[in-house]
Each structure stands twice: as C-alpha cells, then as structure tokens.
A and B are shown apart, each in its own frame.
Chain A
Amino acid sequence: MSMETGDQQPPIEVRDLHKSFGAQTVLDGIGLEVRRGETLAVLGRSGTGKSVLLKLLIGLQAPDRGTIAIEGHDITASSLEELNEVRKKIGFLFQQAALYDSLNVEENVVFPMGRHSSMPVEKQRLRARQLLASVGMRQDLNKLPSEISGGMQKRVGLARALALDPEILLFDEPTAGLDPITAAEIADLIVGLKKQHRLTAIVVTHDIRGARTFADRIVLLNLGKIVAEGSFAELRKSKDKFVSQFLREGS
C-alpha cells in the first residue's frame, strides 16, 4: 500500500500503535512523526516498550493495531517482498550490535552489500573499509566479533547499518553498556553521521546526556504511552512529576 510521497511526507509516521504480549500491554496507542533529517530520541524506563517500538518499525514484530508508514509505505499492510524493499532503506543498530559471529569485522559490513548490491566484490570490500574507517575502525578488520571490545562491536554494527546507504537509521540503546568516554564517542559519531548523510533517525536510549548531544527532539514513554514530547529544554520546563523526576535522575 503506497501513500503520497515527496519531501513533505515524513519518512516515519506512526499512528495509534498498540502491542501486547499476553496480558502485558507494552505500547498503548503510540503516535509519532519524524521529519526528514531529524533525530528523535525515545526515552523511558526499562520495559516500557522502547525496543519493541523499533522492532515494529522494521517489521520484526507485527503490531496488534495501528499503522506504520515508512517513506509513505504502510509496512503493516505490506507483503514480505514490499517490506524487504522498505528494510533496505533502513539501517538498524542492535543493542548488543548483533554482529554475525562467524564472519570477521569486514565481512560483517560486506554481508548486506553482498546480498543486495550489484557492486563487484572488490568495490564492496573497499566501501566496507571506508565505512569502518568513518566510524573509527581502521584496524582489526580480520578479527572476529568475539575478539573485539563492546565499543568496537557497536562501531562495526554502525558501519554495517550504513552499508546499504540507508535514509533512516534506528538505534537501539547505542551507548548502553559502554564506559562514559566510549559512550560520548558513539554519541558524537551519531551527530557526525547525521550531518554527513542527512539521516532521519530514531534513537532509543536511557542515556539522557547522549540524547542531549544527538537528539533534535525527545519523546518520553511511560506505561506504553507518550507522556512528553519536545526539545530537551522544553521537557525540562515540564511540570509533570514523572518527566521532571526522569530528567533529574538521568542527568
């Protein structure tokens, strides 16, 4: 199903999204729009469905109700072929990087290109090395994911997410589990990529400091609903008890 496209069309448009697992309601009527070139940070406590939201956006899970339009295509009503065409426009950075553990660093980045690009193998490898260099990975390209640190795995995951030159990037906790210096480096990297590629991005995170660095807009989730939305400065002015407590404790 295709709707009107163009520059006015928001790349990501979510309406009335519901998702439950058994009796537990995880998302309860979420609606949001992300404008082209904008980075939206989704904050919230653990278990509030932030990661589920990202998985719904890329079709790894199906919503119980609601629509998700990516570049004007409603992925909730798409066939697998149509969904895969949409997925090629989206890069996804997983919480634990989810690198293929039988492939080395370079092969991990080449993998999506090998499956979808008509580029000759040598050019794919060259592009993979360029992408890895752009995220600060110039060495250890022949190492397996288990032989590199968590921060390096995130960098490789980021390079892999960029492999198909996506228009949209989804980040699931990009700075979680990293030391503060590496976390700040990853946050700076996101800012750099955003400027360089004019990417539209959704970043799910607990890291309020990181969100301040890279996000143009923040939404705060609680109990499956959006409880606040706006810039960091706007959210700080909020009188809502949960919002002010969340920002105070996290800063």
Chain B
Amino acid sequence: MSLPLVALAGAATGVVLSLETRDGMVRFGAKSLLPAIIVFSIIKESGPVITGLVVSGRAGAGIGAELGSMKVTEQIDAMEASAVDPYRYLAVTRVLACTLMLPLLTVAANFCGIFMGWVANTLWDPISLRLFLDSGFKEVAFSDYIPPILKTAVFGLIIGVVACFQGMRTKGGTEGVGRTATSSVVLASLFVILADVVLVRLILFIWPLS
C-alpha cells in the first residue's frame, strides 16, 4: 500500500525539482548540469527523506493504530495469557518488514523521481532519456548512491520501533487508539528527520567528499 504513495511522492519531487531548478540553471548558463542536479538531489536526499516521511505517515499510523486497537480490546493480553510473547510475535515482524522495505521503496521513489524529472525537463527542452541519464549519472559514485539508500533502513527501523512501542502502550479505548496513531506519525517523522541529520554527518565521515 505504501508503494503507490511513495512512487507518487517521488515523481512529484522529480517534476518540481526539474521545473524549479531549470530557471536558475538557465540564468547561470549551466543548463547542461540540470540532469546531474536532479539525479544528485534525488538519490542523495529527496528520495530517502520523502520515502521516510511518507512511510512514517502511512505505515506508522497503520501499525500504531492496529497494535493500539489490539491492546485496548485485550487481544495483546490474550496473547500473553496464551504464553506467546506479543513483542516477538507482533513487533519484531513489523519492525523487520519496515527495515527491509524502506530501502526498496526508496529505490522506487528514486526511479520515479528521476524518470519524471526527465519527463518534465524534456517537455521544455527535448532530450533523450539515454542522454539525460548519461549526463545525470556521469559523476555519480558508489558513495553517492548506496549509503543514502542504506540510511533508509535506519528510518524503517525507527518507524517500526516507534509505531510498535506506541501501539503496545495504548490506553483509553478508541480515543487512545486515535492518540496512538497521531503520536506514532509525529514521533516517527521527528526521529526520521533527526536521524537524517546524524546519518548524513556519519556518511560524510565514512565517505568524505572528494
């Protein structure tokens, strides 16, 4: 369910980046750099962060509300009463799913963003996709592409842990479930943004700018 949303958000980012950047690049006489700017901007920051925030909203609220309603209807107590560890059975699977899926969703967002960046670009100034990609990826190195995608695994971990934790400690009936859904999204988004700052610094430390 997150895929169409992430793809749409990525595509919109690509279009907007292309439209907004084009004007500046033309003014500075650097139009030929446009593909590289779109590709760099999407794979290094826009794609991962947009995916993280969209999934915080979509999966964070979903997991928080689902576990929250299981908590207030005593389904989690029933699981414990049957000697089944609800953290292992319900939380671990969800946290793992978020951690593994975020990088894949980021790849999808990046793909849609770059493709739609080319579409928006080519409407103004026709350029073949091959030429756009060649010039966009010419300067892209391993350290530009892989670390930002792996960084989103940490975003997934954060979203899963925050939503499961909030869900498991829900109190106060349906109103409590509503509060959990909201707090899961708010806290997951906040921690994703903070983690982004820390992780970008860490990536720059491990793979310094050339």
Contact = CB atoms under 8 A, between A and B. Distances in A.
A115 B78 contact: no
A122 B89 CA distance: 22
Interface string A9-48: 0000000000000000000000000000000000000000
Contacts of A95: 74
Interface stretch (A82-90, A219-227, A229-237): A82-90
Interface in A173-215: none
Size category of the B interface is 10 to 19
Interface in B63-117: 70, 73-75, 77-85, 89
Interface residues of A, number: 25
A60 B85 CA distance: 12
Nearest to A164: B82
A98 B84 CA distance: 15
A100 B83 contact: no
B78 A100 contact: yes
Contacts of B73: 96, 98, 101
Contact of B74 (A59, A94, A112): A94
A111 interface: yes
B74 A115 contact: no
Contacts, number: 53
A115 B89 CA distance: 10
Contacts of B84: 111-112, 115
B89 to A, nearest CB: 8
B92 to A, nearest CB: 14
A248 interface: no
A116 B78 contact: no
A122 B79 CA distance: 22
Contact of A101 (B75, B83, B85, B89): B75
A113 to B, nearest CB: 10
A164 B80 CA distance: 14
Contact of A92 (B78, B85, B89): B78
Contacts of A164: 82
Which residue among B74, B78, B80, B89 has the maximum number of chain A CB atoms within 10 Å of its CB?
B78
Nearest to B89: A115
B75 A90 contact: no
Contact of B80 (A60, A85, A99, A101): A60
Contacts of B75: 98-101
A29 B92 CA distance: 39
A98 to B, nearest CB: 4
B82 A60 contact: no
A111 B82 CA distance: 9
Contacts of A84: 83, 85
B81 A92 contact: yes
A58 interface: yes
Interface string A135-175: 00000000000000000000000001001100000000000
B194 to A, nearest CB: 33
Given A87-B83, A94-B77, 8 more contacts: A58-B81, A60-B77, A60-B80, A96-B74, A112-B83, A115-B82, A115-B83, A164-B82
Q: Which are the 10 A-B pairs with shortest beta-carbon distances?
A: A84-B83, A98-B74, A98-B78, A87-B83, A92-B81, A112-B82, A115-B84, A94-B74, A88-B83, A58-B81
